Amino acid sequence: MDINTKKIKKNAFRVTKVRGFTASRVRVPGGHLNAEILEKVAKIAREYGNGTVHITSRQGFEIPGIPYELIPKINEDLQPIIDALNINQPVRGEGYSASGTRNVTACIGNRVCPYACYDTTAFAQRIEKAIFPHDLHFKIALTGCPNDCAKVRMHDFGIMGMTIPAFDSSRCVSCGACEKYCRKKSVQAIEMINERPIRNAEKCIGCGECVLNCPMRAWTRGEGAEKRYRLTLFGRTGKKNPRLGEDFIKWVDEESIIKIILNTYDYVTEYIAKDAPGGKEHIGYIVDRTGFEEYKKWALKGVNLPPEAVVYNPVYWKGIKYTEMTL
């Protein structure tokens, strides 16, 4: 049968090595789902695929071994999964309408982990609603704290949870636990002066070790305070100049992060190479070409940062540089 590979890829089906068979890609924003969805994925794999399911590195599923002619049936069976995960869909029953923006990944967050500073799943799902569907190739990852279990510095946008610790001096017994753990496990942002802990706000990375280790709850996460994050940019792997993402803004808020991501879609649409293979070009390559200041102008357009936010300037990238060699 004749197959329009561009069309099926846009519909989130993979062209595989096995002639006549495809694999269905299932989005799971934030990597969290109801167990009933697993049963639906397993049912599709057993009835229409080869009986196996691959858990992808981006926390979604791929169901291989599906004959091309069954794509419409698979899209019908994917509908309850799409509905349950509340994924944007222009036309019901036709599966996913784009495959560019990759599944938004996240660590388990503060629903389970005591180190996490926020609900990573909820924020990942909020980002998903703002950006999907879109054909541009963006990778976004969220991690609950500076331990960075989600390896967010390897993504286009890395979102790292931060805590602005609140201190209640009336509860402090000057035990020094906060200073000890900040020194041994973090960046030594707390110093004991006259037997009282003093936090260096400029040095603090918002990890929350003081909160976790204070026996008297003198340090807290500041209940009711707005969440804050560290935003890193344009980490990448791959063949060409892999590198870690660099800090762009610390103590940034959710609204600003979403606006910066949406502004980046506009920037890429303006500057993407017209001859890019497959119509794709990594954002970092575009920034390398236009200069970071041009990107920054687009990224911060209409963004209202909180007063405590710190924008890093300038931003330089380090990493492997492959150069041509003449022998």
* Tens digits of residue pLDDT in 173-183: 999 999 999 99
Whether omega for the bond prior to residue 72 falls within 30 degrees of 0, making it cis, is no
Confidence of residue 101 (pLDDT cuts 50, 70, 90): confident
pLDDT at 324: 58
The pLDDT tens digits of the residues spanning 184-210 come to 999 999 999 999 999 999 999 999 999
The bridge status of strand 196-199 relative to strand 190-193 is: antiparallel
Q: Is residue 327 part of a domain?
A: no
The pLDDT tens digits of the residues spanning 127-167 come to 999 999 998 989 999 999 999 999 999 999 999 999 999 99
Q: Is 60 exceeded by the pLDDT of residue 97?
A: yes
Q: What's the CA gap between 129 and 85, in Å, rounded? A: 11
Specify whether 180 is located in the same domain as 249.
no
Q: Is residue 111 part of a domain?
A: yes
pLDDT at 173: 97
Q: Is 90 exceeded by the pLDDT of residue 223?
A: no
Contact by Cβ (8 Å): 131, 138: yes
Among 197, 220, 243, the domain-final residue is 220
Q: What's the CA gap between 119 and 112, in Å, rounded? A: 9
Residue 9: CATH number of its domain: 3.30.70.3340
Q: What is the mean pLDDT of the chain?
A: 92
Contact by Cβ (8 Å): 36, 80: no
Specify whether 188 is located in the same domain as 204.
yes
Specify whether 39 is located in the same domain as 124.
no
For residue 203, the enclosing domain spans 166-220
Counted domains in the chain: 3
Specify whether 246 is located in the same domain as 296.
yes
The pLDDT tens digits of the residues spanning 44-80 come to 999 999 999 999 999 999 999 999 999 999 999 999 9
The pLDDT tens digits of the residues spanning 242-284 come to 889 999 999 999 999 999 999 999 999 999 988 877 777 888 8
100-121 mean pLDDT: 94
Specify whether 297 is located in the same domain as 233.
yes
pLDDT at 224: 54
